[in-house]
């Protein structure tokens, strides 16, 4: 696992991080990791962007009419 060192953290930011860690009963390192993980998750594309990408990949394909196919199968 990689290690990360952060230097020159402004005092107000450091105090806020320590305070947050105490409130959540975590170590400073655990709290920092959780905040970094949240930032990573927020960086993901939105569901709308993912849906648009899927529509783009499927563009031009004949996907058929699922409802019509189900009705046809039920009549058999």
**φ, ψ of residue 64 in degrees (nearest 5):** 75, 180
d(CA 67, CA 47): 25
Q: Could you tell me the end-to-end alpha-carbon distance of the chain, in angstroms, rounded to an integer?
A: 59
Q: Which residue has the tokens 């783009």?
A: 56
* Mean pLDDT computed over 58-67: 85
Listed in sequence order, the residues at least 6 apart from 67 whose beta carbon sits closer than 8 Å to its beta carbon are none
3-47: per-residue pLDDT in tens?
A: 999 999 999 999 999 999 999 999 999 999 999 999 988 777 888
Global pTM reads 0.56
List Cβ neighbours of 35 (8 Å cut-off, separation of 6 or more): 17
pLDDT at 63 over 80: no
């Amino acid at each position: 696992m990689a290690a990360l060192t952060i230097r020159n953290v402004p005092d107000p930011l450091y105090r806020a991080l320590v305070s947050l860690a105490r409130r959540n009963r975590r170590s400073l390192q655990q709290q920092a990791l959780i905040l970094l993980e949240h930032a990573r998750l927020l960086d993901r594309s939105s569901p709308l962007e993912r849906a648009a990408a899927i529509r783009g990949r499927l563009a031009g394909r004949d996907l058929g009419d699922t409802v019509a196919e189900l009705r046809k199968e039920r009549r058999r």
